Structure 1
C-alpha cells in the first residue's frame, strides 16, 4: 500500500457519510436488520441509543420500537454483546463470531485473569471453584432461557459470594461473584444481554446463553471486521481504525494489507478505503437533516472528527469522558444538539449556523417532529448527559 494519490475532500466525505450511514432521506431503510448490517455496530451502553439510532434511519420510524424489539429479543437477528474497546454494542447476529474472534478473545483473557487475581487477593475461592460456579450458572441459564443475575443465584447460590476489591485503596469496594463473572462470560461470548426488565430504555437486563457460533481465525476475523467497517466509514485514517477497533497498530496494518485496502489522502493525512472504493461519490439527491442520539455510531465513528464536528462545539456536546450527546446534523456535519423535556417536547439549538438557512431549519424541525411522533409519551434520558442536552431538557418552555 503506497502513498495514495487521490485526495478525498470534506465535501465528498460528508456525502459518503449521509448515504452510507443511512441518514440521507434516499438512503433510509425498512428494518433494524438493514441498519445493523450497514453500520456494523450500534452502541449499546445506553439502551435507548439502539432504538433512537435505528429510528433515525428507518423510512417508517413509527415501527422503531416493536421492530427493534423483534430483532433483538424474538428473531435474535441483532444481538447485544461486548465488542470493540470493551464496549457493549448491538451487532448483526451473523457477525458475532467475527467480533468475538477479532476483538473479544484478547479482552476476555485479560478480564478472566483480573477476576481470578482479585478474588485471590481477597482470599476468595480459587479458579477451580469459579469454574464450577460458571458451569452451573450456564446450565441454569440454559434451562431458564433468560434470567437476571438475581434469578440465577436461586439456582446457583455460590453466585452470591462477595469479595473485597482493592482493599486499602481509595476505591475499595465489595464485588459480587455474579456481577463480575457474568461480565467475564459476556466478553468471552458465552452469554449475551437479553430482554430488559422494564421498557426499551431500561438498563436492567436479563442474560441469555449466546447463540452458537464457529471459532474463527483471529487474523481472518480482524480482516473481515475492518473490511465491513471501512466499507461504510471509509476513508479513515490509521488513527481512526486503531481507535474504533481497539486493536494494536500491528493488527490494524495486517488487516489493511489482508483486504488490499487502497491508500488515499484526506485533510488529516494518509487514509484508506476498501478496494474499488476510491472513485468519486455523488452528493445525496436532496439536502438532509438528522437528530441522532447520544453515542450514535455516526457521531462516534471516527477518532478524528473535525471534518464533521467543529472543535468549538465539543464542550457543549460531549461529557467529560468523551461520550457524545444528542446531535443535530445538516448535510453531513454536526450543527447543534437536542434534548427532550419532561412533557415529551423535542427541543433543539443550532451551535454552528454557517450555511444553515431556512431550508435547514425547516428540515431539522421536521426531523424533531418525526422523532416526537414515534417516541410519543416516552421520556428519553441519555445515560451519559452532556451540557447542552441538560440545558435544553431542563429549560421551561
Structure 2
C-alpha cells in the first residue's frame, strides 16, 4: 500500500522545496532556476517573492540579471508572464508553443476568423525584425495595415504568443516603471529558441517533470498540468516514472516525487512568510489545499498577496503609504500576531529601503 501524505505533510514539503521553510543562501539566478521561474505579470512582485526566500536578498542583483539578459520576462507557463533564466526560456519555449497558440485562439478565435496563423507569425517577425522594443498595441497596429478587419488588439496579442518574445527593461527592474515592450527572444538572447524534439521524443517534457517535482513535489499529474498549462505530458511522466516514488494524498490521488527530495516532518515549525501576488507556491497546483483553504483559494487567482502562518494562508496584505497592512482570514493568536508584525516590519523596511518599518494588523 502506498504511503499517505496529509495536507500538513504536503504543505511542509512545498515550503521546503519553495525555500519558504527557511531562507537560503542560494544566488538569485540559481533561485529563479530552482523555482522554475516566478510568475511576474506584476513586474515588482518577484522582488518580494525572492526576499521571502533568500537570505540577504539584494533587489539590485535581480535587476542586474535582467539588464545582463541572464533572466528574462516572457509569456510561458499558462500563457502568463514569467521571470525565468535565459537558458530555460530558450529550452522551454518550443515545448510551450502549442499551448500558447491554443490559449490565444481560445480568446480571439472569432476575431481571427480564417486568418492563417503561420502567415501572421511571419508578418510579426518582419514587423519586429529590427529589434526595436514595441508594445503589443504597436505590433498590432503595424499588422492591422495588412489585416484591417481583425483589429490591432487581437493581432498584437496573437503575434506575441506565436513569436517568442521577451519584455525588455526597464520593465521588471527594481523600482523602475515602464510599459511592456517586446523584442524577439532570438534578438535579445543572441540565438533562436531550441527546436522541438524530433520523432515524438520529449526530453524537454521529461526535464520539466523533474524540475517541477524538485520545486513543487510531491504532486499529481494534474498539479503538473495546472502549473505549466501543458496537456501533452503523460508520455513525459511515463518516461521518468521509474525514477520516481509515489504516495497517496487524503483524497486518494497518486502523487509522484523524486526519491531523495525533502519531505519534512509535518510538525516542523514554520516561520511567517509574506508572498507576492500570484505566487506559484499557491498557484502551482490543481489541488491547493496543502497551503490554502478551499474557501480562500480564489484570493490568489485574484492577485491578493498572502501571508503564511503555520504553513498556510492565514491573511492577505497590502501596502498603504509605506505601511504593510495585514487583513487576517482567521483569528490569530497573540504569538502569531507578534510574528506577523515582526516579519511585516522587516518587509516594510525592504519595500521602503529602510525608511519606514510600519505594519498594521486589522
- TM-score, normalisation: structure 2: 0.81
2:180 corresponds to which residue? 205
Q: Deviations over 1:352-394 (max 9, x none)?
A: 34xx53443222212211211121189xxxxxxxxxxxxxx9x
1:85 corresponds to which residue? 78
2:2 corresponds to which residue? 5
Q: Is the 8 A contact 2:93 2:194 kept in 1?
A: no
The 1:57/1:108 distance shift into structure 2, 3 A limit, reads same
Aligned length in residues: 346
SS at 2:325's partner residue?
strand
Q: Is the 8 A contact 2:249 2:255 kept in 1?
A: no
RMSD: 3.6
Q: CA deviation at 1:132?
A: 6.4
Q: Deviations over 1:309-342 (max 9, x none)?
A: 1223346x35xxx33411110232111111111x
Distance 1:370 1:108 in 2: 42
Which of 323, 326, 348 is matched with 2:305 structurally? Answer: 326
Distance 1:220 1:110 in 2: 23
2:61 corresponds to which residue? 67
Distance 2:44 2:165 in 1: 21
Segment drifting more, 76-85 vs 93-102: 93-102
Q: Is the 8 A contact 1:327 1:337 kept in 2?
A: yes
Q: Deviations over 1:172-202 (max 9, x none)?
A: xxx21xx545534433453211114697474
Q: Deviations over 1:11-59 (max 9, x none)?
A: 322222222111123x433543132112102112222222221222221
Which of 137, 144, 168 is matched with 2:127 structurally? Answer: 137
Which of 323, 344, 347 is matched with 1:368 structurally? Answer: 344
Q: CA deviation at 1:282?
A: 4.4
After TM superposition, list the pairs within 5 Å mapping 1:1-397 onto structure 2: 5-25=2-22, 27-61=23-57, 63-64=58-59, 66-72=60-66, 74-108=67-101, 111=104, 118=111, 130=120, 133-141=123-131, 144=132, 146-148=133-135, 158-159=142-143, 161=145, 163-165=148-150, 175-176=151-152, 179-196=153-170, 200=175, 202=177, 204-210=179-185, 211=189, 212=191, 213-217=193-197, 219-248=202-231, 251-260=232-241, 261-277=244-260, 280-282=263-265, 287-314=270-297, 317-318=299-300, 322-341=301-320, 343-353=321-331, 357-376=333-352
Q: Is the 8 A contact 1:222 1:255 kept in 2?
A: yes
Q: Is the 8 A contact 2:37 2:82 kept in 1?
A: yes
Distance 1:368 1:21 in 2: 20
The 1:367/1:314 distance shift into structure 2, 3 A limit, reads same
Distance 1:219 1:68 in 2: 31
The 1:245/1:148 distance shift into structure 2, 3 A limit, reads closer
Q: Which runs of 5 or more residues in structure 2 are unaligned?
A: none
Q: Which runs of 5 or more residues in structure 1 are unaligned?
A: 166-174, 379-392
Q: Is the 8 A contact 1:30 1:60 kept in 2?
A: no
